[in-house]
Amino acid sequence: MTRSVAESSFVEFLRSDLHEPIGALFERQAARHPDRLAVKGARRSFTYAEPDASANLLAHAILARRGSGSEPIALLLEHDAPVLAAILAVVKAGKIYVGLDAHHPTARLRGVVEDSGTPLIVCDDTHLARARELASTSCELLEMTALGESASAPPPGLRVSARAPACISYTSGSTGDAKGVVGDQCAITHRAMVFINGARIAPGDRLALLESVAVGGSFRGIFGALLTGASVLPFDLRAEGIDALAPWFSREQITICSFAASVFRHFAGGLSESSALPALRYLGVGREAVSRGDVDLYRARCAWVRLRQRDGRRRGGHDVRVHDR
């Protein structure tokens, strides 16, 4: 197999980096690649220098409201570039981010806000009215859009431990009430490390982010890109629809993507022999079993792609045997 240009510049993510907090690891990439594309959303794009400055600005605003100390901060923002800057801001401030999926019913979001005990909801102007609905008398709002932008906001300068809690993600609630799962910074970077080294992610890669930031599986796409100098491209699957995905992959030259198995099935089923996805080189699938029929279908449409099944019982999953180029 001939390696892609992106993969040829791969640098292994070292276990020693797990001792560094997420903010410091990202700042290292921002210093190395200030002008490289970090995030490209439907409405906004950021170079590596831009989300770092935006994250620092928001981190200072959060600290001004709440002071230092670990506590949950809810994020109700579009599935676009600014939400990733907000995640970085929260972890840089030593707080715990709680992603709120705007596609969920208000009752579910209110349950997450109440269960997590967040004292602050960070929102954008699009979701300000809904954020007001969710906020109780003891919960403040911080509109990220109103902060403006800064090209030179300094880091907050806090000493944040790699063992500090960084995220609370909630289960689907399909078998009862949604339950919050706390992940510390080291656990998140460990999952990113497994993905980075398994997929050999390099600065030239372009990763699709299909999962909401409210879902724990989004860690791979977010930090698999932002801790390597690669680009992450959020795509709102529920708003845009599955039929728009393959043309978007082609247009944006996506090289790496992780799917839920059911989404993978619909995506592969919709591909035709004329589908042009020449940049795509790695797919991860998970959550559900992938059938032989699914693999055979994808082999017929995109045989050069490395397919890897994510498995919670194995660290990082295992390869599905598909012909590599």
State the SS3 of 268-317: HHHCCCCCCCCCCCEEEEECCCCCHHHHHHHHHHHCCCEEEECCCCCCCC
> Who's near 235: CB < 8 A, 6+ residues apart?
42, 79, 208, 209, 210, 245, 248
* Residues composing the chain: 325
Contacts by 260-263 with C-beta closer than 8 Å and gap 24+?
Answer: 260/211, 260/217, 260/285, 260/286, 260/287, 260/288, 261/285, 261/286, 261/287, 261/288, 261/289, 261/290, 261/294, 262/287, 262/288, 263/210, 263/237
Between these two residues, 283 and 304, which has the higher pLDDT value?
283
Longest dimension (CA), the chain: 60
> Do residues 301 and 275 touch, judged by C-beta distance below 8 A?
yes
Residue 318, classed as helix, strand or coil, is strand
Coil vs helix vs strand at 45 = strand
- pTM above the 0.85 mark? yes
Cα(223)–Cα(236) distance, rounded to whole angstroms?
Answer: 18
Sequence letter at residue 308 = R
Confidence of residue 4 (pLDDT cuts 50, 70, 90): low
According to DSSP, residue 226 is labeled: H
* Domains assigned to the chain: 30-184 (3.40.50.12780), 188-320 (3.40.50.980)
Q: Which of 56-65, 166-175, 262-271, 300-309: highest mean pLDDT?
A: 56-65
Q: Quick one: pLDDT at residue 322? A: 39
Supply the DSSP symbol for 145.
G
- 34-93 pLDDT, tens per residue? 999 999 999 999 999 999 999 999 999 999 999 999 999 999 999 999 999 999 999 999
